Each structure stands twice: as structure tokens, then as C-alpha cells.
Amino acid sequence: MLITKKHLSRRAVLRGMGVTMALPLLDSMVPAQTPIAKSAAAPKTRLACIEMVHGMAGSTAEGSAKHYWSPEKTGADFEWSQTLEPLKDFRDYITIVSDTDLHPATAWSAAEEGADHFRSSAVYLTAAHPKMTEGSDYFVGTSIDQLYAQQFGQDTPLPSIQLCIEAVDASGACDYGYACVYADTISWASPTTPLPMTLDPRQAFENLFGDGRTPEERAKRLATNRSILDWISQDVAKLQRSLGPTDRHRLGQYLEDVREIERRIQRIEKYNTSGEARALPAAPLGVPDSYEEHVKLMFDLQALAFMTETTRVSAFKMSRDVSGRVFKESGVNQSFHPASHHGEQPAKVAEFAKINRYHVSLIPYFLEKLKNTPDGDGSLLDHSLVMYGSPMGDGSVHNHKRVPVVLAGHASGKIKGNNHVRCEDGTPMANVMLTMLHRLGVNVETFGDSKGEVAI
């Protein structure tokens, strides 16, 4: 048999009216008798940065003593804490880093006192202290997701995506003399360039699969109320005839995943236009009333984007500061922000820990998606680095000590997992981010207020 090494391009796409769909990695994208690591289809590391606001019960003196967040033991034989126990099925991929501080989020002058909620999110991925301003002359730092995107995301259709669950949706000034943009996003392309975050799953879906050649073309497609798959059916049929059985199955599964997400968005939009009472009447039509459904949709979209290398970088803001949302699934009926102001009362700290655990319990949904998606010589989770944490420590007093950080994924073999690292008091959280950047191949000497690496 003659081996020509002809193969399908890793950048092959399916096109229809107002539709551009990148393909997942298929066997036919790798030249015959060529190790995948030496081909253009070699997997690149994906980076997902997830923020949860208001800190953690485990960052309080009470919560630290009871190990609500940080395990008691370090190393590979750590026991699961109450809050992190939902991650137990992914132990080999999990790295917990305890007791780092995010000093740039603190008040550096008397005028900045009390403004932590309006400053923290801007610091989360930048480790830089925001300029206090109510105007457009904001200044903070470049976030780690964008440093990675600038070096390793320029050959993908989207250098990065930014998603959120609750938007402040405001411009100009918020409280305590800070521009609202500081609380609106965690992603900064430069110290003066905040990137907007997408709240609406429909908009996020269109950003991934709508080619945007003209607004009129996309509007016409949407007006037909047909699946985007209808517009590429001929290309799909032609491609499938050229694929082997394994690739046909993988392509079929991918298209079904896309269609299922589309169905869910359409079902949400149908309900939201039915006249039924909405829990979130001011939200866009594509936003479900259910927090959990919203989060899972956004995780699904990130997984699809990573699978197809539509992008390798995502930032996901799972809540907003001073949110009054009630997470009944946690077993706590008090709203989120008041619950974080527990006054160090043991019973109230324990209640807040339940909310923290509920938020963490949603992360395995994303990790499972990544783990079950083949990607070259491993899975997407093998070739990803997922960061979950908060820019606050003890939300009751708005401090930024013992801020929670957990990493998931092997970052293409650069992080081993199954590890709990406890840092010395005063270690900057920026040390974790500097270490992440180095493991991701970004060559920087310092980041934010970093002083060195963390042994992960």
C-alpha cells in the first residue's frame, strides 16, 4: 500500500450560510506513520481560568482550623476537605495550593478602604493593584489568560473567549470611587484594555459557530429557526464519505453535542418568550433562570471550543461581587453576599462553607467533559490547565489572605496532579500564576507581585 501522507488539515472547517464550524481532532488529520507530536495536529495546552467571588469559609480562622478548604496533610496523601471533596474523582489531575495572599487587592490608601468588592476581580488574574478612578483612565495589568493567548492563541479563530454568569452590566462609576469595569471582567489584554465577558449562551454560541460575514446573512439564518447543522449538511455528508469508521463516529458525536447545546438554548429562549414569569426578567433571552443550567451551558461551550481549537484560552466569571443570588441547591436559603458576612460565627461559617462546596461541585461537570474528549495522545484534560479560585480570602472582613486556589489538568505533562502544596505565610498568589505561565511556556521573569515559583 502506498502511503502518501495526505491528510485532512487540522484547520479544516465546515461552512454554510453564516456558519463556520471547526472540526475536532480526527485520525485523518495526522499524516500516516507520523508521530502526532511531530505533526501540525500535535495538541496544544488549553488554559481555563475560573473565578468565584466572596472568598471561602476555609479562609477564616474558624474554617482554617476545621479545614473547610485546605486539607490538613500536604503532598500526595492529602485527605479531601469538605469543600473540595466533590473533586475526588479527579484526584490524579488536582493540585491544591494553600495559604497564598493577593496583596494587590487590598487597600493601599485610606481612600481605597472598603472598596474590595469593586477592586478584587480586576486583580484576580493580573495580580496588579487597580488605579482608583471613576473615569475611563483605568489601569491594572495584563491578565495571565491574555499573556498566554498573546503567545499561543494567535493561530486559532478566536485568541480567547470570556464568559460570565452574572453581569454588573454598568458603565461609568460604581461605588467607592471605582469604575464599574473593574468588577465586570477578569480578563485584561493590557493594563488599559479590559475584555468584555459574554453573559448570553446564544451570543457565545454564535461567537463560536457564526462566521459573521455579514450581519444580514446571520440574521437571515437565525430567522429561519433552523439548526446551524442544516446549513452545512452537504459538507458534512461529503466529509463523512472520506473518513474511516472511527473518525465518522467522532464527527457524528461532535455534531450531536453541538445540536444538543443548540436545542437547550432554543428551549430556554422559547420559555423566556412564552410569557411565563421569569426569575431573571432583565436577563437576555438566552439566559436560563437556573444558575446551574447556565453554568453547565457555558462549560459545554468552553469544552467544544477547546475540542475544536476554536480557541485555547477561556476566562469564566461564575458570579459577581455583592451578588444577592440564593443557591438553594446548596441547602442554604440565605443570599450569597450576606452569607459571606458571617461574622466568624461558627454556625454561619459552616453555612457559607455549604455554598462554597456547591460552587465547587459544578466544576467536575467541566472536568468530566475534558477527560472524556480524546485529544491526540491523551484527553483534553491531559492537555489543559484549569484554575479555580477567588481573589478574596475571608469575605466577612474583605481580606485577601489565604485565598483559595485549585488547579486541574496535567498541562500537557507539565503538572503532575494529586498534590497539595501549603505555602509559607505571605506567599503571593502571583507565585502560583508565575509558575502556571512557566509551565505553559510563557517566558516571563516576574508576574504582578511574584517573588518566585511554587513547587507544583
* pLDDT given at position 4: 44
Q: Are 360 and 83 in contact (CB under 8 A)?
A: yes
Q: What are phi and psi for residue 348, nearest 5 degrees?
A: -75, -35
Q: Are 18 and 218 in contact (CB under 8 A)?
A: yes
* pLDDT given at position 2: 38
**Would 259 be classed as within a structural domain?**
no
Q: Are 182 and 191 in contact (CB under 8 A)?
A: no
Q: Are 415 and 409 in contact (CB under 8 A)?
A: yes
Q: Are 184 and 315 in contact (CB under 8 A)?
A: no
Task: Look up the CATH number of the domain holding residue 389.
Answer: 3.40.720
Q: Which of 124, 132, 156 has its CA nearest to residue 391?
A: 124
* pLDDT given at position 451: 96
**Would 272 be classed as within a structural domain?**
no
**Would 408 be classed as within a structural domain?**
yes
**Would 386 be classed as within a structural domain?**
yes
**Would 237 be classed as within a structural domain?**
no
Q: Report the C-alpha dihedral over residues 5, 157, 121, 325, rounded to 10 degrees.
A: -100
Q: How far apart are CA 289 and CA 378, in angstroms?
A: 36
Burial class (CB in 10 A: 0-12, 13-18, 19+), 263: exposed
**Would 403 be classed as within a structural domain?**
yes
Looking at the structure of the chain, the number of domains it has is 1
**Would 126 be classed as within a structural domain?**
yes
Q: Which of 391, 312, 343, 407 has its CA nearest to residue 118?
A: 391
Cα 83 to Cα 44, 55, 87: the distances in Å are: 31, 12, 9
Handedness of CA 90, 94, 99, 100 (dihedral sign): negative
| Span between the terminal Cα atoms of the chain, in Å | 48
Q: What are phi and psi for residue 188, nearest 5 degrees?
A: -130, 120
* pLDDT given at position 275: 86
What is the chain's pLDDT, residue by residue, as a tens digit (456 residues)? Answer: 334 455 677 778 888 877 888 889 888 887 765 566 655 567 899 999 999 999 999 999 999 999 999 999 999 999 999 999 999 999 999 999 999 999 999 999 999 999 999 999 999 999 999 999 999 999 999 999 999 999 999 999 999 999 999 976 666 667 788 999 999 999 999 999 999 999 999 999 999 987 655 666 666 666 666 788 888 888 889 989 988 999 899 999 999 999 999 999 999 999 999 888 888 888 888 999 999 999 999 999 999 999 999 999 999 999 999 999 999 999 999 999 999 999 999 999 999 999 999 999 999 999 999 999 999 889 999 999 999 999 999 999 999 999 999 999 999 999 999 999 999 999 999 999 999 999 999 999 999 999 999 998
Q: Are 140 and 154 in contact (CB under 8 A)?
A: no
Q: How far apart are CA 456 and CA 448, in angstroms?
A: 19
Q: Which of 198, 197, 186, 196 has its CA nearest to residue 142?
A: 186
Q: Which amino acid is at 9?
A: S
Q: How far apart are CA 419 and CA 410, in angstroms?
A: 12
Cell readout for 66 is: 476545621
For helices 201-209 and 245-272, give the axis angle rounded to 10 degrees.
140
Q: Which of 325, 352, 407 has its CA nearest to residue 47?
A: 407
Q: Are 177 and 111 in contact (CB under 8 A)?
A: yes
* pLDDT given at position 171: 62
The predicted model scores a pTM of 0.94
Compute how many other C-beta atoms are within 10 angstroms of the C-beta atom of residue 171.
Answer: 11
Q: Which of 437, 78, 145, 441 has its CA nearest to residue 454?
A: 437
**Would 36 be classed as within a structural domain?**
no
Q: Which amino acid is at 133?
A: T
Q: How far apart are CA 408 and CA 364, in angstroms?
A: 10
Structural domain range at position 412: 45-199+290-439
